[in-house]
Amino acid sequence: MAKDPVCGMEVDEKKAAATSEHKGKTYYFCAPGCKKAFDENPEKYLKHQHG
């Protein structure tokens, strides 16, 4: 399972509503709205993550 960086929900990679690439890493989203928010400002969501 992957974690939606925007809302924090657990997302099944195979069933993700949307995905986005950022700096060579793929992120998975529960909904297109989360992907849109992430694409507009990825650093805002990634600064809270470690690793």
* Residue 44 main-chain phi, psi, to 5 deg: -60, -40
Residue 7 lies in a domain: yes
CA angle 33, 38, 42 (to 5 degrees): 175
Question: Model pTM?
Answer: 0.87
Residue 26 lies in a domain: yes
Q: Percent of the chain, pLDDT > 70?
A: 92
CA atoms of 18 and 30, how far apart (whole Å) = 7
Number of domains in the chain: 1
What pLDDT score does 48 carry? 65
* 18, two tokens: 């949307």
* 21, two tokens: 């690439």
* Residue 13 belongs to domain spanning: 2-46
Residue 23 lies in a domain: yes
Residue 51 lies in a domain: no
The residue-averaged pLDDT of 37-44 equals: 96
CA atoms of 43 and 45, how far apart (whole Å) = 5
